[in-house]
Copies of this chain bind each other. A is one copy, B any other.
């Protein structure tokens, strides 16, 4: 199984490859990929070997072939439907963000408890009552959810998601979820990131 770090890097490589492709550049070198993700070129070559890409590193990798390879890894051609739970500020921002040009991952439904939101299309996404989620997940074979509920509801909603077939959660709440080990949780802890940024800003000398 790929490590989390490798998967994260493949996502970033893929983005650089798209940029190269947009600029009609046909070859990419491991040091260029390495620079973007702040690892060594050797690490890039190992990642791509694990991926099963057979390139000739000395001449550079073919952008098109390598893109195809990573696209296949992420199952891009199939498209992936996910849901979002909690249509507050962050939830709405995510709906808008992923609506704009993220072609293969689509938020196919949003869920909330607020009667003012249910039944409406918010930032391009249909919003349903959370009670209708189990049927929706089952009918659509959804495995991933974005969690943007208030922190106090995070654990309960996460458990509800998992009871209904969700296998991975992108957690924007500051809650540290306690879930069974076969569920993948990716925390995006915005406050922690901001505290890091302010701390390191403050100690840099003028």
Contact = CB atoms under 8 A, between A and B. Distances in A.
Given A196-B4, A201-B166, A97 B102 contact: no
B196 A11 contact: yes
Interface in A90-132: 90, 92-94, 96-98, 102, 105, 123
Interface stretch (A42-50, A54-62, A168-176): A168-176
A28 interface: no
B176 A186 contact: no
Contacts of A123: 89
A22 to B, nearest CB: 11
Counting chain A residues whose Cβ lies within 8 A of the other chain, the interface size class is 35 or more
Contacts of A169: 197
B80 A202 contact: yes
A11 B191 CA distance: 8
Interface in A54-80: 73-75, 80
Contacts of A39: none
Given A93-B92, A194-B105, A184 B200 contact: yes
Interface in A146-188: 146, 166-170, 174, 176, 182-184, 186, 188
A192 B167 CA distance: 18
